[in-house]
Chain A
Amino acid sequence: MTASSSARSLALSGTRSNNPRRHSRMLSLTALAAVGVMVLAACAAKPSEKAASGTSKPLVVGISLPLTGDFSQPGGEAKRGYEVWQSMVNAKGGVLGRKVELKITDDASNQDTVVADYSKLITQDKVDLVLGTFSSLLNYPASAVAEKNAMVFVEPAGGAPKMFTRGFKNLFFAQPATAPHQADVFVDWIKSLPDAERPKTAAYPSQDDPFAAPVIESMQKQLEALGVKTVYSAVYPADTTNFQTIASQMASKKPDLIAQGAVFEDGVGLIRSLKQLNYSPKMLFQTSAPSNSSQYSDAVGMANTEGVFYTVSWNEKAKTPLNPEFVAAYAKAYAGASPAEDAADAFAAAQILQAATTAVGSVDQSKIRDWLHANTPETILGPLSWDETGAPKGKFLLAQWQSSTVEVVGPADAATTKTVVNPKPGWK
């Protein structure tokens, strides 16, 4: 570079500077930076290479959950479920003789974040195992990351039908059935009724939710095949807060059965609107709302819960292995509260992974995957098994609020009581 250079190049920015010195300084800085980066990167390993598992190091399970944002409520419950499992497992010596460590990050109910979280956990932090997040919307992209990296992905939530049409081999849903089959147990109960007691007409309002809507859709088809007349069927947007129009339309048709695809607030909102109109159907079914125990009964009033049906993957009183211990441990850890279904599902997901890992004797993902496809581990939800797409092959429980508590009324082998409240009493 020559010493004489003009500043013409910088005319537009209107400054004077010493060009040659600036240039050589920039070049040497760049060279330094490049060398630095290369040194740093020299010892990185390929993503496909797994970290060697030393037997004394803790077994790290990577999890991303929506601890904040739209799904923060179930996300928080899932976290509790995982943590209760961790404390119970470590009290008995851990898994494969190693203490279990949970690495939980918050994805804020955001898709980009959940992808980044699992990407980091798997490829950077090199966790030994992963467990799923909450809600189908987040599990879709998260499971894709796991599948790309050939990690087994057991998810406590995310039963929307499309989850299982992608040809993933490493995906497992930790609930007894997928959404379209969730309501089968209710239909079975109706079939068991004599003709005179069956509902003649039915209304099917549902939230536009990938989990709730398929439940009601499938129920509608099955009941129509049975001869139950559909007098109202509508899907409302997820942010609907005003249920008066829906309620008044249904009330005018006076259906015997109202089956609502309700997530939570909408279930409460519809009941409130029905109360305002003073219409109480003979049978009321809501998909998930009534499972929120005290929150639900506080919101609609305990007296009004009587007779409400819903399906659930888990029940507090079920006699499944480790269930009483789970309930006790949860109450101890969280000031006497009873677990929500989401916490139980998370616990079950962890149990599944634990069973497979223990049976296989290592954290080899392909061995774990093969074992799960071939076996039926026991969980607090009962025994679970899957088809090759990862969809489970069981049945949900039919639950009903009776005298301020929840009872399981079907299927028969899981029932906690023989009585079924039918018809539902009026509003109080």
Chain B
Amino acid sequence: MSRVRSIPRQHLVAGLCLLALVLYPVINPWQPYPQGVMLLGFMLAIQACSWNIISGYAGYISLGHSMFLGLGSYTVAILAIKWGVNPLWLIPLGGVTAVVIALLIGSVVLRTRGHAFVIITIAMLLAAQIFAVNFKGLTQGSDGITLELPFWDRDYQNIPFYYIFLSLLVLTVLFTAWIRRTKFGTGLIAIREDEGKAASIGVNTTRFKIVGYGASAFFIGVAGGVYAYYLTFLNPVGSFAILGSVVIVLAALTGGKGTLYGPVVGAFLVQLTSEAATVYGGGSQTRVLLFGSALVAVVLFMPAGLLPTIEAQWRRRHPVTVEYTDQAGALGHGPATTRERALADVAVQADGQSQGDVLLEVRGVSKRFGGLVAVDNANLTVRKGSITALIGPNGSGKTTLFNLITGGMTADSGEIYFDGQRIDRMKPWERGHLGLGRTFQITRLFKEMTVQENVVAPLPDSRWRTMFADAVSGHEAARARELLDIVGLGRFAGERAGALSYGQQKLVELAQVLMLEPRLILLDEPAGGVNPSLLGRLTGVIRELNERGISFLVVEHNIPLVLELCDPVVVFSRGTPIAEGPPGMIREDPVVLDAYLGDDWRPAPVDDAAKAVRASTHRGVH
């Protein structure tokens, strides 16, 4: 009994509904009409759930998704006639065709970000219709294809279809739930929340999107094959109508896109309402108007969908207290063994390189934005095992340089080498897989995912096995929890990342980077917004990680921290380094002081020198 109680409530409700649906034809077998309405609802739910994978999870809206239904129908019908086989044997092939087409389209259009995708999905739907009309030899054009009637007794009519569609729906939901549990799922959501950041943590966004699009096509193709047998007649206009795609979007949106059961609930709502409108309303002339108004209403007033809105209402009545950061734990009073093991996990494997070899080399890199030269023929070297600081006035090009190193931007000229390998032409995730990690000046977490999911999301390598590893339990998840413990946020694993405070988010971001098993971490103003005692802990963590082999390149404005922690210190001004050396030397260098403080600055008396520097830098050269 306690096992039952430990299942989340939403799954229990879903299970009960499934039971009711399974039993319905057993209890009430001789009514093909309601069964017909229900099975069309199942079919819509299959499509909406599948749509959810690419458009709900990954955020790439597809407005032509019913195309896969038509593709599946045509494939199965054509082959069934050609081979003289009952169509039901061939329905997996409908899925295969759908996936192949999705992969082909995806590989052309998903290589870039932006709005081309939604336009292409509409265009492809209309193009599919034209193909079906014109490839007469294959599809019999506008005449359409007719199939034989089902072979079972007419008393049972719709019952087999009912169960087939219901089974497909269950499979689709299970499939979607499984995807959500894997790093593939967290990667898709990462892409939706912040595609650039996803790329920087090792998510191969192109591959994920294409696979996601393909995954969103399979079950629809299979359902299409069954649908062909149900209708016994196919034609291009009916199979590739745009209203079919509209209804999918409406269903998923109404129920809640991005949730597991939202599309199913939405599909039933839409199907039953539509049928009721036909039977009781003034005919279906108003169907287009009904769907259009519903879509507008949902987008304006309930964009999250029904299920999330209900859940939000529920939360308002049953709030959960937010806990504080386990600062004590973070400050070193937690179980030492856990930390030791976690840190050991993070340790870098020896790779034959010894301390002091060049790890990162930037050669003659330049970047302009129109007339503004942000980085001007810059050279920079980071040695293995070092904590190198990069300081300089605002606008000197430090963050731009970071972006160039990690792959967020392409340099206009110059080369970048990481561990001897040239990386300036590589995609951001490839650089991540090589061991290059980075945190951001303004934290970029995936707000809608939980903290644990945020930390599990990064992929340290490009293997397919990693992509499909379980993110909720198992090795990856355990590692993520340990990393969270290092930064003291273990208790927050189940919280929504967007609910955390700024400082807490910074710590999560650090844990994220560690998940990449990096060899070099670029920290962009790590001390900003972190309270002083935690700052000490942060410095300690950096030092411990450094001792285990991780190198750091730190951009910071907190000069005392820099002088204490880092060696060497590189000073950047107007897009190029102007000085480099150990902290003590940099403090005194007149060129540096001039660049930072202006040429009318005079050094204060010796015993106040340190205070003066601290004061001037804290007042903000920002």
Contacts and interface: CB of A to CB of B under 8 A. Distances in A.
A and B together in one complex: yes
Interface of A: 1-2, 5, 8-17, 19, 23, 26, 30, 33-34, 37-38, 40-41, 44-48, 67-69, 72, 105-108, 110-113, 115-117, 119-120, 123-124, 137, 140-141, 144, 147-150, 160-162, 165-167, 208-210, 213, 237-238
A210 B130 CA distance: 15
A45 B29 CA distance: 9
A12 B7 CA distance: 10
A116 B33 contact: yes
B323 interface: no
Contacts of B37: 116
Contacts of A107: 284
A115 B150 CA distance: 15
B5 interface: yes
B499 to A, nearest CB: 10
Contacts of B233: 111, 140-141, 144
Contacts of B9: 9-10, 13, 17
Contacts of A166: 146, 148-149
B6 A8 contact: yes
A252 B287 CA distance: 46
A123 B32 contact: yes
Q: Nearest 10 pairs between A and B by C-beta?
A: A108-B284, A68-B285, A41-B28, A106-B283, A140-B233, A120-B33, A9-B6, A124-B33, A144-B232, A14-B320
B314 interface: yes
Contact of B284 (A30, A106, A115, A137): A106
A223 B33 CA distance: 49
Interface in B326-345: none
Given A110-B284, A208-B133, A162 B148 contact: no
Interface in B200-255: 231-233, 235, 237-238
B155 interface: yes
B352 interface: no
Nearest to A33: B20
Contacts of A10: 8-9
B30 A47 contact: yes
Interface in B414-440: none
B606 interface: no
Given A47-B155, A166-B149, 8 more contacts: A11-B494, A13-B311, A15-B314, A105-B279, A108-B287, A148-B150, A167-B148, A208-B133
A69 B9 CA distance: 44
B32 to A, nearest CB: 5
A144 B149 contact: yes
B300 interface: no
20 contacts: A9-B8, A12-B8, A14-B494, A23-B4, A34-B20, A40-B28, A45-B30, A47-B155, A110-B238, A110-B284, A111-B238, A119-B158, A120-B279, A124-B31, A124-B33, A137-B144, A140-B144, A144-B233, A166-B148, A166-B149
B133 A141 contact: no
A40 to B, nearest CB: 8
Given A45-B30, A47-B32, A141-B233, A213 B142 contact: yes
Contact of B278 (A19, A106, A123, A144): A106
A162 B144 contact: yes
Contacts of B237: 137, 238
B28 A160 contact: no
Contacts of B27: 34, 37-38, 41
Interface string B277-311: 01100011101000000000000000000000001
Given A106-B278, A141-B233, A149-B154, A208 B285 contact: no
B40 interface: yes
B275 interface: yes
A165 B146 contact: yes
A115 B21 CA distance: 22
B157 interface: yes
Contacts of A38: 27
A300 B157 CA distance: 49
Contact of B231 (A69, A117, A141): A141
B353 interface: no
Interface string B1-27: 110111111101000100010011001
Interface residues of B, number: 58
A43 to B, nearest CB: 10
Nearest to B317: A15
Interface of B: 1-2, 4-10, 12, 16, 20, 23-24, 27-34, 36-37, 40, 130, 133, 141-144, 146, 148-150, 154-155, 157-158, 231-233, 235, 237-238, 275, 278-279, 283-285, 287, 311, 314-315, 318, 320, 494
A117 B284 CA distance: 12
Contact of B154 (A67, A150, A208): A150
A67 B283 CA distance: 8
Contacts of B142: 208-210, 213, 238
A288 to B, nearest CB: 15
Given A69-B284, A108-B287, A115 B146 contact: no
Given A208-B133, A237-B133, A44 B28 contact: yes
A413 to B, nearest CB: 33
Contacts of B12: 26
A238 B315 CA distance: 54
A231 B143 CA distance: 25
Nearest to B152: A148
Contacts of A115: 36, 231
Contact of B1 (A1, A15, A119, A209): A1
A38 B225 CA distance: 33
Contact of A119 (B2, B32, B283, B311): B32
A10 B320 CA distance: 12
Contacts of A162: 143-144, 146
Given A44-B31, A106-B284, A210-B142, A30 B130 contact: no
Contacts of A119: 32-33, 36, 158
Contact of B149 (A124, A148, A210): A148
Nearest to B142: A208
A113 B12 CA distance: 34
Nearest to A238: B142
B345 to A, nearest CB: 26
B16 A48 contact: no
Contacts of B284: 68-69, 106-108, 110, 113
A374 B12 CA distance: 60
Nearest to A15: B318
A2 B20 CA distance: 27
Q: Select the residue from B2, B23, B143 with max chain A CB neighbours within 10 A.
A: B143
A46 B3 CA distance: 42
Nearest to A147: B149
Nearest to B311: A13
Contacts of B146: 140, 162, 165-166
A148 B154 contact: yes
Contact of A123 (B4, B7, B28, B31): B31
A100 B27 CA distance: 35
A34 B149 contact: no
Contacts of B235: 137, 140, 210
B33 A15 contact: no
Nearest to B319: A14
Nearest to B493: A11
B5 A23 contact: yes
A98 B36 CA distance: 32
A237 B133 CA distance: 8
A400 B385 CA distance: 96
A2 B150 CA distance: 51
Nearest to A111: B238
B154 A47 contact: yes
Contacts of A1: 1
B494 A237 contact: no
Contacts of B154: 47-48, 148-150
Nearest to B34: A124
A50 to B, nearest CB: 12
Nearest to B286: A68
